[in-house]
Amino acid sequence: MKRLQPCAQRRVALAILAMAAAAPGLFWRAAHAQLAALTDSDATAGLKGALETGATTAVQLLGRQDGFWGSDKLRIPLPDWLRRSEKALKFAGFGKDIDALKLGVNRAAEQAVPQAQELLVNAVKSMSVTDAKAILTGGDDSVTKFFASKTRAPLTERFLPIVRQTTEKIGLAQQYNGLADQAGSLGLGGSGVVRIENHVTDKALDGLYFMISEEERKIRSNPVGASSAIVRKVFGALK
């Protein structure tokens, strides 16, 4: 086969780039055509496999010591209202209390996360074909939206007592909650003042859903590495 000269190679490359510029939706349409060729059962089964794996992995990674505390990206901060007063509190001699609360809120989240396993897996198992197609063709936050819509309310109920049991042992958390309750009674709830356990629960769930979406994104980017053949088939069609 005759080899193209460098100048000819450049012309071919420019022609390809011009075609891509003229039809920016070409590769997106090709991906959708490949997805359309899959049966509904294939698409749903593949996604269920990926999400169940992602949910299990996320729970294992976060529901252990330093799951939140050891991650710069997922470490739970103090509530904004308290964080704004951090320097003043440290200057007033509450430095150790602040440090204990920072660690405590993350430990509380780590202890609560294992309670999510059952609900997350059940949400995946009950997924409809419509849910699956919406996630497969959706944006980066499609996984987060799905799990939040199915599990956020019941997981909040499960997390709150566990988080409360840990944070109520921290003196500064009790004092903060007292101020939060006072603010609420004065109608100042709109200022972002919430009880510490509500803040931790909300951030823990955000972190959990983010971690699941990250695990699903890894499978999207490297479907060949997936352990299940059906997962490889479905996500390979999106490559």
Q: What is the pLDDT of residues 178-198, one digit of tens each?
A: 877 776 555 544 555 678 899
- Give the model's pLDDT for residue 30: 46
C-alpha dihedral sign at 171, 175, 177, 178: positive
Q: Residue 3 pLDDT more than 70?
A: no
Rg (CA), the chain: 24
**Cα–Cα distance measured from residue 32 to residue 30, given in angstroms and rounded to the nearest whole number:** 5
Helix H or strand E encompassing 230: helix 229-236
What pTM value is reported for the model? 0.74
Give per-residue pLDDT as tens, 72-128.
999 999 888 788 888 888 888 888 888 988 999 999 999 999 999 999 999 999 998
The domain limits of the chain are 31-236
- Give the model's pLDDT for residue 134: 84
Of 53 and 107, the structure prediction assigns the larger pLDDT to: 107
Rounding to the nearest 10 degrees, give the CA dihedral for residues 139, 142, 143, 146: -170
What's the whole-number mean pLDDT along residues 152-181?
A: 88
What distance lies between CA 13 and its chain's CA centroid? Answer: 39
Nearest partner of 38 among 233, 239, 225, judged by Cα = 233
What's the whole-number mean pLDDT along residues 7-21?
A: 42
Tokens in use for 55?
């949910």
Q: With H, G, I as helix, E, B as strand and everything else as coil, classify residue 61.
A: helix
